[in-house]
Structures are given as C-alpha cells and as structure tokens.
Structure 1
Amino acid sequence: MTGKDVEALHDAKDLIPAGTKINVTYLHNEDLEMRVAAAKAVRELGFVPVPHISARRLQSQAQLEEFLDRLQQVGATEHVFAVGGDPAEPEGPYEDSLALIRSGVLQKYGAREISIAGYPEGHPDISDDVLWRALEGKYAALREQGLDAVVLTQFAFDTDAVTTWIDAVRGRGVDFPIRIGTPGPAGVKRLLGFARRFGVGSNAMIVRKYGFSLTNLMGTAGPDRFVNDLAGRLVDDPAAGDVGLHFYAFGGLRATSEWVRDFVSER
C-alpha cells in the first residue's frame, strides 16, 4: 500500500487475515507524515507493517534516523524492506540497500527482519551480474548481523523465469525465505503499464501464458494461472525451500484481498 491507501485498507481489513504483513511504500511524492500514518494504520488494524526504506532517496543519516524513530514510536520497525530506490545518483550517503544494511542503523531502532529485493525477470537498469553480487552481499551482511531476512521479489509473469531464478538463488547458498511477487487482479492495460515501467517481461508469449490477451486491453486479469503453475512446479521440489507469495495490489487492496480469499476457499 501507499500513504494514500489508508482508507482503502480500512475498507479491506475484514478480508485480510490478522497478522498479515503489509508493505508500505516509500514514494518520492509522499512525505514522512504519510508514510508513518500508513504504517500506524496497518499496525492498529492488527496487521504487520513492513515500511520500505529507499536507500538512494535518503539525503542523510539524520533523515534515516528521523524516519526510523517515528516508525518506532508507532511500533513499525521490527520488519522493514531495504531497497535501493529509483534515483540514478544517490541523494545522500547510501549508494544502495547493502550500504543501508551495513550501516547498523536499522537494528539500532529495533529492526529484526529485513526484506531485500529479488528480480526473477531481471532489472531494466542493472545487469544480472551486479544483481547476483548484491544479493550475495546482502545475504552475508544479514547473516553476520544475526538478522532474519526475506527475499521479496519484483512481480513476475513468467513461471519459467521464476523457477530458474529460485534454483539459482538456492544454488548460491541463499537460504532465506522467498516471497514471489505477483499482481492481484487488475486491468490489463494497468498491468502492462507497470510491466513496462519496471522492466518485467511483457512480450506477447509471456502475457498469453500468464492469462490475458494484448488484444483486450480493456479487460482484467488475475494471477490464477500463474499461481497454480508455480505451485505445481514447486510442490515436489524440496530444494526450493520456503517459497510463498507477495501480492502487489495494483487493482486495489479490496480486489486483491477478495481474490486471495476466494482462491484459498476453492482449494
């Protein structure tokens, strides 16, 4: 969710199981008050807030500590997502999320589980070699600091790419739980817009495999086919380890929560 989604969270709260982790984004057009208010709302409604911390957007350590202090006051620092962020050049002392982790500031404010990013279908601006070195570096730093961690991925459309990536993660000795990002039900045009923005595979073959048509941009699509296919591939693969899902609520918190409820009830 974003800082603008507090009302939507209240609307969807009865559909979301208590204790569910809900990420709170760090958008450049939202301020400290919006981010903290969103994390507070998540906590007060009985869920677990996971605030994003965008390393390259932080202008100073003081700004980071102000954010963490405010989050700590509302009980929202145990779980955080350390991510590099979008700026081409860092706005302050943190070049990337690894620098943020190595700073030691997160645990100073009570962080005990750090989510880190994974990119099963690659990143439009970062080479695969750099992504793998970053993942391995964060794994080593978090293990050294005795922190729990989760690899939380960018949303994906292609189960072939996802399972290949999971195998590669485990082959590098990274044994953290993995949560594969998948969009909740949303308009096809909106999904493709996010796919282009984040460099996720969106060619005709992949989106057809995912379950929607490029000729019907006014339609909607859900992750049923993707989730069923991924589950079928992983159920007999103990080497995959702890793998679950993380939902991107592009179509709204309520629509995503209803989809999850209905999907689980049909199992």
Structure 2
Amino acid sequence: MIRSLDQVRADLMRESSIELLPSRILELSGVLPDLDRGSRVFVTWLPGVPFVDVLAACDLLKLCGYLPVPHVAARSIRDTEHLRDICAALIERDIPRMLLIAGGADKPAGIFTDTVQVLETEIPAQAGIRTVYVAGHPEGHPQASEKQLEQYLLRKQELARAQGLNMQIITQFCFDAAPVLDWEKRLRAAGIKLPINLGVYGLTTPKTLVRYGLACGVGQSLRFMQKQRWKLHRWFTPCNPKGMVDAIAGSIAETPDTLFHGLHFYPFGAIARTLEWRRNLSCSGTGEPS
C-alpha cells in the first residue's frame, strides 16, 4: 500500500522516541505531556553520573507506562563483572534493551574503550538483552574516518546477527537533510542493513542548538549559525525541524529499500514544546495545531 507524505510523516511522529536526562525525568515525576504510554524514552548516562541514577529514572518511566531505553556507555564500565551487573539490573526490571555508546569520558573507567569490545563479550545477549541501539554519525566523527565508521557498523551488524540481537541505529542530531540522505545511501552501498532512527532537534532556540551542536561536534552547527547571524530577532525563537522530518518521510515514501525507520528527538530542555509539536504533527500531518 502506497502511503502519502502526510501519512508517513504522521507515522514517524507516532513511532518516534525522545531522549532525556535522568534528573529531568525525576523532576517531571516521569509524567511527559503529549507522549503516549508505551513510547520509548531514552535515558542518558553522562560521565561521572552513577548508573543507579539511570536505573531510578527507568523505574519511574516504567511505572508511568513508558518503555525506558537506558544508555550504556562503554567507557564508563569498569570490567566484565560491572557489565554483567548492569545487564542483570536491566533484565530484573524487564528492560531488555539499551543504547550502547562509547560514551563521552576522556579516559575509560576500565577495560572498554568502544562498543564493539562490549558486544564481543556477548554478555548483553547472554543476560537477555534483545534490542541494542548503536550510534550513527551522518556528519562524521572527529576521532574516526568515514571508512572506519562504516567498518565499525558492519562489525556491529555482524555481531548482532550472530547473537540474535535486534540492532538499530540512533544518529546524532542533524540540521541539514542533504548530507543525511547521502550518508544513508553510502551505508546501503557498504552492505549495512540496520534500521536508522534519525536524530532530530526539538523546538528549542537557534542559540541553544548551536551551543549543543558545537559541544557534540555537529559540523552543520557552524554553517547553521552563519546563516542565522542576520536573523537576530529569531535568535531566541524556537526552531522547527519539519523540513528535516519531511526529507526523511519523503525518502521512506519514495525509496522501498531505505534504511530510514524512525525519528529520535533531542529536546534540549524544550520538552513540553517539542512533545506538543510532535503530537500535532502526528494528528494532522501538517505540523500545525489540530
């Protein structure tokens, strides 16, 4: 059945996920306006934060009817026993899923420096983890070449197949659709078949986006900032990511073998505004209040 662009866009909104800090989840008592029960909420694990804080946020999200997806950062894991404890804690809570990332710590806490090393232990799969999300970098990574990033994804895909894991990609947030669409085509050409959930910024301000973009190494943030310099009256006005959403919806509607599967929102503090916009788009398909 052929779906219209509006239908694809609305479906993407309904199936999208969102990422929040444990502290924000606890502040909100796990209540997220305009987010349906059963939605996926990714819980960040920042360097220096105890994993028990991530677990507390996951517990609250489950209590409120959401599906928590905790970050598990390789560089914050001390050893294989620590990894087993983390996986066991998730399975005890009926959370058979994680976002496995290298993490932002400059110095590893233990024996792991990257996610491939964690997957090669087979500990997550043996513990009962069934879904593993991994990071995607449409604009590249400062510490790896494009070819290296492709090889890492191919190795992760191979390990996922061997261990019976459902693996999907979650990307960094992006501003411009063109490099993202080119990146997806390159992944397909390289033999990567993992579904892609594209990172999308929330309805926050250009000033906030540029700050986070620079911190995250998103190259387009600099060009975005240059384009916005003359629009000073909009520097504190919420951005709207509908153009990016439309580009992904168009790829899904027009390309049968596209890897694009869903969206992943980074609200950057604008949680309520982002979720309201998301709900309106899922209902009307136009991005305008219904």
TM-score if structure 1 supplies the norm length? 0.90
1-side partners of 2:40 and 2:230: how far apart?
A: 32
- Choose which of 105, 115, 131 in structure 1 pairs with 2:133: 115
Number of residue pairs aligned between Structure 1 and Structure 2: 264
How far off its partner does 1:187 sit?
Answer: 1.8
CA drift of 1:7 comes to: 3.8
Instruction: Give the residue type in structure 2 aligned to 1:32.
Output: F
Q: Which moved more, 1:110-119 or 1:82-91?
A: 82-91
Q: Is the 8 A contact 1:157 1:207 kept in 2?
A: no
Is 1:94 aligned with 2:115?
Answer: no
User: Contact (CA 8 Å) 1:8, 1:254: kept in 2 or not?
Assistant: no
**Are 1:105 and 2:123 an aligned pair?**
yes
Contact residue 251 and residue 260 of structure 2 kept, 8 A? no
Matched, 1:235 2:253: yes
Give 1:197's aligned amino acid: A
2:222 maps to what in 1? 203
C-alpha offsets along residues 93-150 of structure 1, whole Å, 9 cap, x if unaligned?
1121011111111123220011011101111232222211111110111111111111
- Please identify, of 8-17 and 64-73, the stretch whose mean Cα deviation from structure 2 is larger: 8-17
Structure 1 counterpart of 2:180, one-letter code = V
SS at match of 1:220: coil
Determine if the alignment matches structure 1 residue 42 to structure 2 residue 42: no
Go from structure 1 to structure 2 and tell me whether the alpha carbon gap of 1:205 and 1:258 turns closer, same or farther (over 3 Å shift). Answer: closer
The one-letter amino acid paired with 1:62 is E
SS of equivalent to 2:181: helix
User: Matches of residues 76-91 of structure 1 in structure 2 within 5 Å?
Assistant: 76=95, 78-91=96-109
The answer on whether the counterparts of 1:116 and 1:149 sit within 8 Å (CA) in structure 2 is: yes
Q: Contact conserved, 1:19 with 1:46, CA < 8 A, in 2?
A: yes
Matched, 1:66 2:90: no
Distance 1:160 1:5, change over 3 A: same
Choose the corresponding residue for 1:156, options 154, 174, 177. Answer: 174
For residues 217 and 180 of structure 1, what CA distance do their matches in structure 2 show?
25
Report 1 or 2 for greater relative contact order, CA contacts < 8 Å, sequence distance ≥ 6. Answer: 2
Name the residue aligned to 2:159. Answer: 141
CA distance in 1, matches of 2:230, 2:119: 41
Structure 1: runs of 5 or more not aligned: none
Deviation at 1:3, TM superposition (A): 1.3
Deviations 1:5-49 (A, max 9, x none): 224554753411222111111112321221110111121211111
Task: From the superposition, tell whether residues 207 and 49 of structure 1 become closer, same or farther in structure 2 (CA, over 3 Å).
Answer: farther
Percent of matched pairs sharing the same residue: 27
Return the letter of the residue paired with 1:142. Answer: A
Question: Shift of residue 259 of structure 1?
Answer: 1.3
Structure 1 equivalent of residue 17 of structure 2:
none
Aligned partners of 2:109, 2:51: CA distance in 1, in Å? 16
Gaps of 5+ in 2: 1-19, 286-290
Structure 2 partner of 1:172: 190
Map of 1:255 onto structure 2: 273
Q: Which amino acid aligns with 1:180?
A: L
User: In structure 2, do the counterparts of structure 1 residues 149 and 9 end up closer, same or farther at CA, with 3 Å as the change threshold?
Assistant: farther
Paired residue type of 1:157: F
Matched with 1:31 is 50
RMSD over aligned Cα atoms:
2.1
Partners of 1:144 and 1:92 in 2: CA distance: 26
